[in-house]
Amino acid sequence: MGTVPFSRFEWMIAWRYLRARKAEGGVSTMTWISLIGVTLAVFALIATLAVRTGFRSEFVDTILGANAHVSVYEPLRRLEGGGTSRLIDDHAEKSAALARIDGVTRVAPIIRGQVLASFDGRSAGVEVIGVAESDLRTLPGLGEQAIASGGFEGFAGGIALGSGVARDLGAEVGDRVRLISPDGVKTAFGTSPRVVAYEVAMIFSLGRYDIDGVRVYMPFVEAQEYFNREAGADEIEVMVDDPEGIDGFGPAIGEAAGGEVILWTWRDRSGGYLRALEVEDNVMFIILSILVLIAAMNIVSGLIMLVKNKGRDIGILRTVGLTEGSILRVFFICGALTGTVGTVAGAVLGCLFAIYIDPIYDFVNLAAGGGVWDPSVRNIYSLPAELRIEDVLKAVSLSLGLSFVVTILPARRAARMNPVEALRYE
């Protein structure tokens, strides 16, 4: 009659072998090396997955939060005087029709232009967006926490500056900033630049460096006059409740906007970056999976050494009646237990890293003397990390799976050892 698999005595023998002293072959040292290797590999994998997920969430929430999910443009048409135009003359009617589409959360006609901002001897190139105050108030991300100073109260007669623009110009709320556009008043001697001074009503920070550093909001009607747009709009911004499924909104948006329109989605604008991020994510996962495999192979080395050192013990155990299956399970427990403990420890460290990434980042930044994270290069202000249960389960499953699989070979070698050969020279 065979023994019950994974009986108490099998666990007892395996635990005794794992605690072997250095004088008994240094197995304990190899066990610690294997355990630390698996712990660090799982920690690195979970931390990387968390940062990867954080970057993607930052991309969707922050970048899309301040930009249109889809922009509606008029096709280029020729005017009677020989010129061309893309102005949307009936933007109010089209905006109302777009707002009635199921899933559309925000619709705003806007004016867009590039100008030079100047204040107190400083200047900076900025992007001016003309938008109605009611539409600006509904801009995702532009809540109370995003307003550095000032507010909407004075926006009707002024402008709103991004925090980066305000910093470059040295301007504060109440200052008058001059906006200089090369496409100004048409005279008999040509077109003269348009220079108008506006009072700064609000300074905002949307958490996106390339927005805060270049963007200026202006009242829609004032922008029409400043950029010579007459009664039209350059485009209509549309936001939906499911940005990931924006392609499915295309037919409905095109029909509501009159059919003959051009749609430019966030995937067209920034999809290349997202695809590159996904490719990088997959490559990083493969590389870190190899690190987990290498760490798991340390378990094999430790088990092979353990089997070699315990050949006499295996022979005695077989002689007193232990089956091959019992011997296999003893050494399988030795390897699997090392992999399990290392996996759990690595998962805990990885989760703690993702949860407390902000203080960890602050400590590293302080230790390095500052400048570890440059928002002008990465376009976001801090290192993002988002812990997802599926990422943790993926890392834990990979580590446990590899640890269990690589343990089988040396365990089978121990189980098939001939007790007569093991005790021949004892």
Of residues 52, 71, 49, 45, the one with CA closest to residue 274: 52
Provide the whole-model pTM.
0.65
Domains in the chain: boundaries = 8-61+273-423, 75-260
Task: Return the sign of the alpha-carbon dihedral for residues 301, 306, 311, 316.
Answer: negative
Question: Among 74-83, 137-146, 262-271, where is mean pLDDT lowest?
Answer: 74-83
Q: Band the pLDDT of 172: cuts 50, 70, 90.
A: very high
Model pLDDT, residue 198: 95
Q: Band the pLDDT of 141: cuts 50, 70, 90.
A: confident
Rounded mean pLDDT, 129-134? 94
Check pLDDT > 50 for residue 253: yes
Q: Which two tokens stand for residue 241?
A: 């409740």
Q: Which two tokens stand for residue 295?
A: 């760490």
Model pLDDT, residue 192: 74
Question: Among 164-178, 199-213, 361-375, where is mean pLDDT lowest?
Answer: 361-375
More confident residue, 81 or 197: 197
Model pLDDT, residue 25: 47
CA distances from 125 to 128, 138, 152, 165, 186 (A): 10, 26, 24, 9, 23
Question: Among 90-94, 284-288, 335-339, 375-379, where is mean pLDDT lowest?
Answer: 375-379
CA distances from 253 to 75, 197, 234, 239, 260 (A): 15, 38, 17, 11, 11
Rounded mean pLDDT, 51-62? 76
